[in-house]
Structure 1
């Protein structure tokens, strides 16, 4: 549920296709908080460093008091991610910290991690779940270190329950998963002590 009183008036979402999705959870959060201004900068296929280089300047110019940052999956998708994981973490920190210094409450999310992704091409599916789990673990740790408002969906009960969370491509979330994600983010925001 959303905070009873929402103090955030300028909300910005940064990231890849998870954020870009029209009517997805970034926009569901907007609908619940009803800010005065909102901008969705999400663009599919971007890696974390590209989100930092392309979207961060635009986000800072927008001057949000709430920013959602969701990226890294396009880095983890590719074999060899583990060897580049420190660079991905640094890119994510390079997005979060400037936003925090500018006065924004920053939300981060570790996305759902399925046990397997049977609809994906074999060359991509092999090891993908493992790499996504590593990304989630590292994002959780980074969020704790940086003090973001963090929603960890990687081990959500809906996964163990076998509920269908992906769309037709077998990779991106469906409408149900976006509702779960939005509810998780709103719950974390509602728990912030200063807004109770």
Structure 2
């Protein structure tokens, strides 16, 4: 295995479903999902005997829940690299204030910077391509500008999902249209490694995207999607429920990364 040269030995990922890896199912991975963070950890671990990785992210979490539930355990693992993606579940909720969400995010960054770990944060994706979320595109843009200011003040690395136009391709998304699929997570992993300036052998468009649907197929899929995913998602919002209720972190302890079986999931 080729040695990857970088300064980090303990990587902790915190956040919500995006970082947990939802949309990228992998039966042999802890929690049953792989995702971009696992893929990044796999690259960072290559050629290292003492690299350790933890993933504390849990689907559905709001920014204050991530601050309250994940930061203290993350600091307890003594990371020298932390990635955080948070606030997306807040931004998409009607009536929320991107400035207030950003203030909570900055509190998280201040606490995470206690031990001088490298911190990488994510902007939100450009949702203009999504019929469901394009109405909050401006709100996401305001949140992103706040995040860039936070990154500048606290010397964080920015992984710019807004500029990652590749993920605006519908073929990058899981059937629920809320989470990236294996190809999408793979693409984000490449972007994160580039932001960290880590050489790697991850190739674009591998795993390959599925062929696009015909117009008629797409309309049938729209109806199926609304019944299976959109309606339950809306009902959870109304009932103040979360998909992450009673879910625990998939990798709560910093440990050597073991790749999933290649017979189940592409690289």
| 2:184 corresponds to | 177
Is the alpha carbon distance of 1:133 and 1:175 closer, same or farther for their aligned partners in structure 2, counting shifts above 3 Å? farther
Deviation at 1:189, TM superposition (A): 1.1
Q: SS at 2:38's partner residue?
A: helix
Deviates more, 1:150-159 or 1:25-34: 150-159
1:76 aligns with 2:91: yes
Q: Which aligned runs of 4 or more in structure 1 are off by greater than 4 angstroms?
A: none
State which of 23, 27, 47 in structure 1 corresponds to 2:34: 23
In the alignment, the residues of structure 2 paired with residue 78 and residue 44 of structure 1 have an alpha-carbon distance, to the nearest angstrom, of: 15
In the alignment, the residues of structure 2 paired with residue 185 and residue 116 of structure 1 have an alpha-carbon distance, to the nearest angstrom, of: 22
Say whether the 8 Å CA contact 2:127–2:134 is kept in structure 1. no
Say whether the 8 Å CA contact 2:172–2:181 is kept in structure 1. yes
Deviation at 1:92, TM superposition (A): 1.2
State which of 158, 165, 168 in structure 1 corresponds to 2:166: 158
Gapped regions of structure 2 (runs ≥ 5): 22-32, 199-267
| 1:194 corresponds to | none
Structure-1-length-normalised TM-score: 0.83
C-alpha distance after superposition, 1:35-87 (max 9, x if no partner) = 62111000111111110111001001111000000011001010112xx2222
Say whether the 8 Å CA contact 2:167–2:184 is kept in structure 1. no
Larger Rg: 2
Give the length in aligned residue pairs.
181
Higher helix share: 1
Say whether the 8 Å CA contact 2:10–2:78 is kept in structure 1. yes
In the alignment, the residues of structure 2 paired with residue 144 and residue 5 of structure 1 have an alpha-carbon distance, to the nearest angstrom, of: 26
- 5 Å matches for 1:47-196? 47-81=62-96, 84-118=97-131, 120=132, 125=133, 127-158=135-166, 162=169, 164-190=171-197
Is the alpha carbon distance of 1:134 and 1:176 closer, same or farther for their aligned partners in structure 2, counting shifts above 3 Å? farther
| 2:234 corresponds to | none
Gapped regions of structure 1 (runs ≥ 5): 192-196
Deviation at 1:140, TM superposition (A): 2.4
CA RMSD of aligned residues (A): 2.1
Deviation at 1:159, TM superposition (A): 5.1
In the alignment, the residues of structure 1 paired with residue 60 and residue 41 of structure 2 have an alpha-carbon distance, to the nearest angstrom, of: 23
Deviation at 1:126, TM superposition (A): 6.7
Deviation at 1:166, TM superposition (A): 1.8
C-alpha distance after superposition, 1:105-128 (max 9, x if no partner) = 00111132231423x4xxxx4723
Say whether the 8 Å CA contact 1:73–1:135 is kept in structure 2. no
